[in-house]
Amino acid sequence: MLDIKFIRENPKLIKEALKYKRSKVDLVRFFDLDQRRRQFLQEIEALRAEQNKINDSISLSIKEAKDPSEYIGRLKGISAQISDLEVQFKEVRREFNFMLLSIPNVAHPSVPLGDASKNKVLRQEGSVPKFDFTPLDHMSIAENLDIIDFQRAVKVSGRNFVFFKGKGALLERALLNFMLDLHIQKHGYKEIFPPYLVSRDSMTATGQLPKMEEDMYKTTEDDLFLIPTAEVPLTNIHRGEVLDAEDLPLCYTAFTSCFRREAGSYGKDTRGLVRVHQFDKVEMVKFTLPQDSYKELDKLVNDAEDVLRALELPYRVVELAYGDLSFAAAKCYDLEVFSVGISRWLEVSSCSNFEDFQARRGNIRFKDKHNGKTSFVHTLNGSGLALARIVVAILENFQDKDGNVVVPKALRSYMNGTEIICRE
């Protein structure tokens, strides 16, 4: 969340964030609640101060063997006033806190203004493949090779779920292991294997709640949520903690399955693996000093790009405009690979700097040993990378005229030396 002082002093920036991030928060109502909340606090504190004075007077009267009845009567009246004010204050505070958590992060000044049409392609690596035959989409390839079963997954779980099997399952596992090894051994991340169910507090800390609760899978009885990304458990590792400045940046990576209820429409570009309710992903999360966070964002993007370079997939890096940023992000770069089957670029990684937005919600701070001051860390996260769209890209970009798929060299040792996926 944003600092309330920042919100009070920068209403124009807040209105801009609400506009571009399409968040419906009544700022007039919010500022009224803020004023009433502070007024209640002042009144309650004043009454409590008076209450303390009366208690002292009662003690003195008893000590001097005088009748304290008058003071006791006044004390009862003040206690009743405080109780009444506290009931009103709690209701105002509840609504105020909900609205505060509903205000999105403000974008970094460098972010392009506008909606997704203002996104900027910064660079492209590799070329979109050209075939001397009519290429197939990933669904046709997968079904012909018998490595993914779409129909039986629908029978078992419903639309937008899949079964990987045989070499398809091996490809999925190879990708995950390859990505983890790259981030751990080359990029210096520490591997975590986190829970897949998290609390409401954890989801709130990273910004999924309250805004996106309808899109999440949850267990009603326990009020636990299936994670939409490993960003949630990884960021919450240090919720409520004060870290040592000398230990920053802290860099974590994790493989998890991810669960998202909203799967979009069921058109041509959302069939198969392009948009599913459950998918695997390797995530990267960083806790940094504020002054280092944008340097670390550049490193994060490069770490994600390293995966695509090693897999020899054509990709591009896109700087997102304000209107395409997530609720919590201050700046974001997307990495996209080309899908031959639907002739468009698919996002496989979003690398974001949240600055101190998540850290404030999760109360994650660092302490400078030189001055003893505590401040909020900056948090970053990025996909490194998201499957199943990488599987889409591999199947479609490395297909041959016989419908087989050439395995990228970087994956072959993870696939028991398999060089070509063909029907068994």
Is 347 tagged catalytic? yes
* 3-state secondary structure (DSSP) of residue 254: strand
Alpha-carbon 241 to chain mean position: 19
pLDDT in the model for residue 270: 59
Rounded to an integer, what distance in angstroms lies between the CA atom of residue 36 and that of residue 22? 27
* Confidence tier at 269 by pLDDT (50, 70, 90): low
pLDDT in the model for residue 182: 98
pLDDT in the model for residue 262: 67
pLDDT in the model for residue 342: 87
Q: Could you tell me where in the chain the CATH 3.30.930.10 domains are found?
A: 116-421
Give the architecture-level CATH label for domain 26-101.
Answer: Orthogonal Bundle (1.10)
pLDDT at residue 55 is higher than 90: no
Q: What is the mean pLDDT of the chain?
A: 94
Q: Is the dihedral of CA 2, 260, 294, 296 positive or negative?
A: positive
pLDDT at residue 265 is higher than 50: no
Which are the contacts of 329, defined by CB distance < 8 A and separation ≥ 6? Answer: 105, 107, 320, 352, 353, 354
Q: Tokens 């031959």 belong to which residue?
A: 340
Which are the contacts of 54, defined by CB distance < 8 A and separation ≥ 6? Answer: 71, 74, 75, 78
Contact present, 103 and 7 (Cβ < 8 Å): yes
Rounded to an integer, what distance in angstroms lies between the CA atom of residue 388 and that of residue 16? 35
Instruction: State the DSSP H helix or E strand holding residue 33, giving kind and residue range, or none if neither.
Output: helix 27-63
For the segment 31-46, what is each residue's pLDDT rounded down to a tens digit? 999 999 999 999 999 9
pLDDT in the model for residue 131: 94
What's the mean pLDDT in 167-187? 98
What's the mean pLDDT in 227-250? 97
pLDDT at residue 106 is higher than 90: yes
pLDDT at residue 266 is higher than 50: no
For the segment 379-395, what is each residue's pLDDT rounded down to a tens digit? 999 999 999 899 999 99
Angle (nearest 5°) at CA 214 between 212 and 218? 105
pLDDT at residue 184 is higher than 80: yes
pLDDT in the model for residue 72: 85
Q: Name the catalytic one among 43, 95, 143, 347.
A: 347
Nearest to 294 by CA among 384, 244, 354: 354
What's the mean pLDDT in 241-249? 97
Is 22 tagged catalytic? no
Instruction: State the DSSP H helix or E strand holding residue 143, giving kind and residue range, or none if neither.
Output: helix 138-145
pLDDT at residue 268 is higher than 50: no
Instruction: Outline where DSSP puts E strands in 169-265.
Output: 190-191, 197-199, 218-219, 224-226, 242-244, 250-259
Rounded to an integer, what distance in angstroms lies between the CA atom of residue 208 and that of residue 204? 6
Structure token pair of residue 14: 């807040």
pLDDT in the model for residue 332: 98
pLDDT at residue 286 is higher than 50: yes
Question: Which is more confidently placed, 264 or 208?
Answer: 208
Q: Is 87 exposed, middle or buried (0-12, 13-18, 19+ CB in 10 A)?
A: exposed
Phi-psi region of 146 (alpha: psi -120 to 50; beta: other; left: phi over 0): left
pLDDT at residue 263 is higher than 60: no
Q: What is the DSSP string of 289-358?
A: -GGGHHHHHHHHHHHHHHHHHHHT--EEEEEPPGGGS-SS-SEEEEEEEEETTTTEEEEEEEEEE-TTHH
Report the chain's terminal Cα–Cα distance, integer Å.
53
* 3-state secondary structure (DSSP) of residue 383: strand
What's the mean pLDDT in 235-257? 97
Read off the amino acid at residue 7: I
Rounded to an integer, what distance in angstroms lies between the CA atom of residue 371 and that of residue 355? 22
* Confidence tier at 267 by pLDDT (50, 70, 90): very low
pLDDT in the model for residue 290: 97
What's the mean pLDDT in 160-171? 96
Percent of the chain with pLDDT over 90: 86
* 3-state secondary structure (DSSP) of residue 163: strand
Q: Name the catalytic one among 239, 260, 360, 365.
A: 260
Which contacts qualify for 32-38: CB closer than 8 Å, 24 or more apart? 33/92, 33/95, 33/96, 33/99, 34/4, 34/8, 34/96, 36/92, 37/89, 37/92, 37/93, 37/96
Question: For residues 134, 135, 137 and 141, what is the CA-based torsion angle, rounded to 10 degrees?
Answer: 110
For domain 116-421, give its CATH number from 3.30.413.10, 3.90.650.10, 3.40.50.720, 3.30.930.10: 3.30.930.10
Q: Name the catalytic one among 275, 360, 361, 365.
A: 275
Percent of the chain with pLDDT over 70: 98
Q: Could you tell me where in the chain the CATH 1.10.287.40 domains are found?
A: 26-101
Q: Is 270 exposed, middle or buried (0-12, 13-18, 19+ CB in 10 A)?
A: middle
Question: Which is more confidently placed, 246 or 65?
Answer: 246
Q: Name the catalytic one among 350, 355, 360, 383.
A: 350
Rounded to an integer, what distance in angstroms lies between the CA atom of residue 94 and that of residue 6? 20
What's the mean pLDDT in 122-150? 95
State the pTM of this model: 0.92
What's the mean pLDDT in 185-209? 97
Question: Which is more confidently placed, 118 or 74?
Answer: 118
Structure token pair of residue 9: 């002093």
Structure token pair of residue 80: 């009743």
Is 350 tagged catalytic? yes
pLDDT in the model for residue 338: 93
pLDDT in the model for residue 261: 87
